[in-house]
Amino acid sequence: MTDARLAFATDLAREAGLLAQQMRAAPGGLEIVPKGPQDFVTAADLAVEHLVRDRIAAVFPQDGLLGEEGGLRPAKPGGGLWIVDPIDGTTNFLRGLADWGVSIAFAGDAGLSHGVICLPDPAELCAAGPGHSTTLNGRPARVSTRHTPDQTVVALGTSDREPVADYTARVGRLRQAGCEYRRAGAATVGLMGVICGRTETYHENALNIWDAAAGIVLARGAGGQALHAGLDRHLLAPCEVLVWNGQNPQIASLLYAGPVPVNGG
């Protein structure tokens, strides 16, 4: 049986991605406002988050919403929380690069339960919810089974929220171990690689919850594992995130500062 929130979020992510593409393609280009070094918000970010907020308020008025651009609208009694990044990878998006996505997650009393990531330029959408394992464009998605360093590709993220030396040290440890690495500049893109079995691990220090929440649900629904500080703490501040196929704890330990369970997490 289709889960109402999952079907709703899937359609909403597609609509949001199309709106962003249409705004980017419109004559006259996009209004762009710097938020900080290498950090921007565009009129499309704001319009997409506005669309998502309106749609959710209309269909699930009791639910709250935490969005990257508009902050927190608290839930009413009995409601859950939607966690939304309207355009993840804004710097890529505004330059016309394909590595960007729409991330929509939902958390109820039992924690994170629904996740949808839409990557509009490659026309890929992953979705997962209660009783619904992760799908990619409607077909089952599974993490990879690769586990040796010489066959491991790790997707990395970083930002001004951590010292450059911490990032370059992780890169050095991966290369010395024989792993390869990639960096897309959008957490959703890095997470999607793990979810769909194209890479083995995604790691980022100090990642915001709206970048990570849907990917955590989707990775778990694809047979993977996710390590982070837990939703309550992650809602308050950026946290370290490791999403992986659960195969090789030694590789995960090259990246993640916290404990890495031997059985994957």
**Interacting residues toward ligand LIP by CB under 6 A:** 68, 85, 88-91, 157-159, 186-187, 204, 208, 211
Minimum CB distance to ligand LIP, residue 208 (Å): 6
Minimum CB distance to ligand LIP, residue 187 (Å): 4
Minimum CB distance to ligand LIP, residue 93 (Å): 8
Nearer to ligand LIP, 10 or 90 (CB): 90
Q: Assign 3-state DSSP to the chain and report helix, strand, coil percentages, each to 5.
A: 35, 30, 35
Nearer to ligand LIP, 92 or 247 (CB): 92
List residues bridging with 128 in a β-sheet: 115
Cβ-in-10-Å burial (0-12, 13-18, 19+) of 251 comes to buried
At 223, list the tokens: 């047979």
Nearer to ligand LIP, 188 or 225 (CB): 188
Minimum CB distance to ligand LIP, residue 190 (Å): 7
Nearer to ligand LIP, 6 or 243 (CB): 243
From 45, 53, 57, select the one nearest 17 (Cα to Cα): 45
Q: Which residue is nearest to ligand LIP (CB)?
A: 159
Minimum CB distance to ligand LIP, residue 165 (Å): 16
Nearer to ligand LIP, 67 or 149 (CB): 67
Q: 170-209 in b/e burial notation, b at 16+ Cβ within 10 A?
A: beeebeeeebebebbbbbbbbbbbbbbbebbbbbbbbbbb
Tell how strand 81-88 and strand 64-67 pair up. parallel
